[in-house]
Chains A and B, each alone.
Chain A
Amino acid sequence: MKKSSQSSRFSLFAIVGFLSVLGLGQSIHRHVAYDIPWIPGTEKSIWSIEAHIQFSGRGQPASVNLRRPSDQAGFAVLDESGASPGYGLSFVDHIGLPTAQWSIREATGQQTLYYRAEVLQRDTDEVDEEPPPRLQSRSWEEPYATAVKAVLDQAFSLSSDPFSLTRQLIKQFRTGNRAQNEQLLIDEVGEDNLTNLLADMLQSRNIPATTVYGLLLEDGRRRQRLKPLLRVWSDGDSEIFKLALSPEETRLPLLIWQPTRGYVLDVTGGTGSDLTFSMLRSEFTSYGEVASALGEGDDFLGFSIHTLPIEEQAMFKTILLIPIGALVVCLLRILVGLSTSGTFMPVLIALAFIETSLLTGLVGFLLIVSVGLMIRSYMSHLNLLLVARISAVIITVITIIALFSVFSYRIGLTEGLKITFFPMIILSWTVERMSILWEEEGWREVAIQGGGSLLTAVLAYLAMTNPWVRHLSFNFIGLQFVALALIMLLGSYTGYRLLELRRFRPIVDPVK
């Protein structure tokens, strides 16, 4: 028996050694051959942006026009390409704006087109000097004309120049309970057209203004849409007003996709068109590297998920972090001895925290679980069968999430909407498990396990959001093998857990 355990130990170490050599070897190769830095660069990021167009063809000729971004302060477009089976594609300037034009003789059924741009982000405080648009005055019918005048007069009296006037207008429109005139105008044009309305109002006072469409760049995001923003000119200066953005969103880099008002996507010969964006950031330290990465070879040692479409790459950016979370769980359970409710539940919670930000996530988690526990404790009087009870808890959790979203949106906390990122089924099981634990072992055990889970989730979150960890895990696939080797090594650890040193203390010195 001893012998076999020794040989199994030997083969374990052999596998661990092999995995470490393989993983480190691949990583070092990537570092040397492709010049990918070990430390995330801060200066040059290249954004791969993919526009995903969908529409249904009607069995007749179709043509699609999509505006393309152009070079601007802060961004340089390095490379553009399109993927579109069967379509003719050309990049043209259409009414003075860069456009991608697709056309086909016959489009039938669901059509999917891709436009992809590699955009270099530069660190600069410069702002583009865009000439102001021609003034066009728009007339309103009654009673809107009076409302426009009243709103403008009020804002005008509280401001000193075009920029402060704009700010005052935005304030009047974006307050929680609008005054009657503002509400009347919004009802007429629709909430989505607020920027257009504001531009028109400013133009009517001879202030050049227009709606521009921008894309917020956040690493690994998918299914994003363009945001309408308001650009206002004054004496040759211009300013972009990011209304309808949360404070966090305003800190993100903003790529102006289309600098004027008008359509971004125009489809003729099709219906139900939709446009979404995926994006991904890569870090580089030299321009030579940028060039080589754009035409990166795909031999085995250079194996990299950079060869996948961006939408899938963005997904992998998260997936590749899960092993890090698993490693944290292993460390805390095997070396520390923390007990959690559900072994890998904390990793899922940590993934949710990545989407929601830590504080919102913690508040949301505690809220859902505590309200869920209260309702679940009432349900235990009803003597329901297990499957029905868990299903009831799932519905309860969803209701809590819905109520919380609506409530927080009402009081102006858009942060609260992110609560929907929580894995609802997992949370329901957590509520169920904790409720049983409460009945059988008492609240102390619930506090211990709940606290342990939360602590694990927070530590996993901190590890998974660390920029260095993110950079390494995404750019060096080989390190996944190293993580695997570490986890296997932990799995064979037979020493004491940290908390056992306290648990077994009475054996070495008894407490009277």
Chain B
Amino acid sequence: MSMFASPRRLREMGVVGMNQRNNTIIGPLNPRSLYPLVDNKLKTKLLATEKGIPTPALLGALKTQHDLKGLADVLAPHDGFAVKPAKGSGGKGILVIASQRNGMFIKANGQELRVDDIRRHITNILSGLFSLGGAPDVAIIEELVRPDPMYENLSVEGVPDIRIIVYRGFPIMAMMRLSTRASDGKANLHQGAVGVGLTISTGIAVNAVQFNHTVREHPDSGADLMSIKIPGWADLLELGARSADATGLGYLGTDIVIDRDRGPLLLELNARPGLAIQIANGVGLAFRIREVDEIRPRYFRESPHERIHRAMTMFN
């Protein structure tokens, strides 16, 4: 058996490659001027709030070294929170504090930090340590997302998130990303996270992969992956479609988490979503893109609610 697939077979499966994504999808559909909306988490959050899209609550945004003086007061009332660089990518520079005890901050893995440690981390963020090209950045402090207990066995050290690709306002493909011990709590598939492909019509698992191999159980907890069914699936799709409308991007990756109290929350947006989602679903994006391209022009002007129901029947 060859290590390579024939290009003809891949084309038959509708697999979209990097060059095609960059040249024919992202190029024409995502104007450069809109990138800052998604590349800066603070801007995304403000935009989402303005459009009524739920996100984890913003507890504070620190823009200058001077803002750090009041840090202890900002943090004191919140048990758990996450500190993130606004312009970070790929999960860089994210510090998650699960709880506070006796003035110490406790990370998800049990490590204890003092307020000075957090202050130093924020200084690093402000100096651009985690942003692209070292540009000065802003640190945002977010309310901690508490996952639904039903996901407890699915993800190690991290909240599972759901990536939905929205093409010209229509959700066309989705997957759930589960961190594993191999991925060191990170949700990137190439680092060993498990990708579970979900149907657009129902939010039920269709396929799961880790390191490009098909899996049926979570490698660490042994939880059955094929029984995953996301409750309130239509709400998640609608969140994705509304985010696409809010940003104006024609090809958008929306990352959503489900909070046990607040339900689905928009975590972040991506203007250049990767192509691994095709492997997780075991199917290419091209046919779904073509189906959307061929629907009647007036459907594109429908409300997000109508569009997602159209998509749910289209991608059955």
Give A residues with C-beta under 8 Å from B.
1, 4-5, 334, 337, 383, 385-387, 440-442, 491-498, 500-512
Contacts and interface: CB of A to CB of B under 8 A. Distances in A.
A143 B28 CA distance: 85
A492 B23 contact: yes
A500 B92 CA distance: 26
A501 B6 contact: yes
Contacts of B134: 386-387
B283 A507 contact: yes
Contacts of A505: 3-5, 212
Contact of B4 (A5, A385, A501, A506): A501
Given A383-B120, A506-B279, A511-B212, A495 B17 contact: yes
A504 B19 CA distance: 14
B276 to A, nearest CB: 9
Contacts of A441: 191
A501 B18 contact: no
Given A383-B120, A383-B124, A495-B19, A504 B213 contact: no
Contacts of A507: 5, 10, 13, 15, 278-279, 282-284
Interface of B: 1, 3-7, 9-10, 13, 15, 17-20, 23-24, 28, 90, 92, 120, 123-124, 127-129, 134, 191, 207, 209, 212-214, 275, 278-279, 282-284
A496 B23 CA distance: 12
Given A1-B28, A506-B279, A386 B128 contact: yes
B69 to A, nearest CB: 19
Contacts of B279: 503-504, 506-507
A351 B110 CA distance: 50
Contacts of B213: 506, 511-512
Nearest to A387: B134
B198 to A, nearest CB: 16
Contacts of A510: 207, 214, 282
Nearest to B24: A494
B28 A508 contact: no
Contacts of A511: 212-214
18 contacts: A337-B18, A495-B7, A496-B10, A497-B17, A497-B18, A497-B19, A501-B7, A501-B10, A502-B4, A502-B5, A505-B212, A506-B214, A506-B279, A507-B15, A507-B278, A508-B6, A509-B5, A511-B214
Contacts of A491: 23
B24 A5 contact: yes
A248 B213 CA distance: 52
Contacts of B13: 507-508
Contacts of A4: 28
A504 B120 contact: no
Given A385-B127, A494-B19, 12 more contacts: A386-B128, A386-B129, A387-B127, A387-B134, A441-B191, A442-B191, A495-B19, A500-B17, A503-B279, A507-B278, A508-B5, A510-B214
A506 B210 CA distance: 11
The listed residue with most B CB atoms (<10 A of its CB), out of A337, A386, A502, is A386
B127 A502 contact: no
A321 B261 CA distance: 62
Nearest to B135: A386
A128 B294 CA distance: 83
Nearest to B126: A385
Contact of B214 (A442, A492, A501, A512): A512
Contacts of B127: 385-387
Contacts of B282: 506-507, 510
A334 B5 contact: no
A511 B2 CA distance: 12
Nearest to A498: B4
B96 to A, nearest CB: 16
A494 B20 contact: yes
A5 B92 CA distance: 36
Contacts of A494: 17, 19-20, 23-24
Contacts of A509: 1, 5
A501 B214 CA distance: 18
Contact of A500 (B18, B24, B28, B123): B18
- The 6 A-B pairs with the shortest beta carbon distances in the complex, nearest first, are A501-B4, A505-B5, A496-B17, A494-B20, A508-B9, A385-B127
A494 B20 CA distance: 4
Nearest to A505: B5
A491 B24 CA distance: 11
A502 B24 contact: no
A511 B214 CA distance: 6
Contacts of B18: 337, 497, 500
A5 B28 contact: yes
A442 B182 CA distance: 11
Contacts of A387: 127, 134
B9 to A, nearest CB: 5
A196 to B, nearest CB: 56
Contacts of B191: 441-442
Contact of A440 (B9, B19, B92, B275): B92
A498 B4 CA distance: 8
Nearest to A390: B134
Contacts of A440: 90, 92
A504 B15 contact: yes
A495 B11 CA distance: 9
Contacts of B284: 507
Contacts of B278: 504, 507
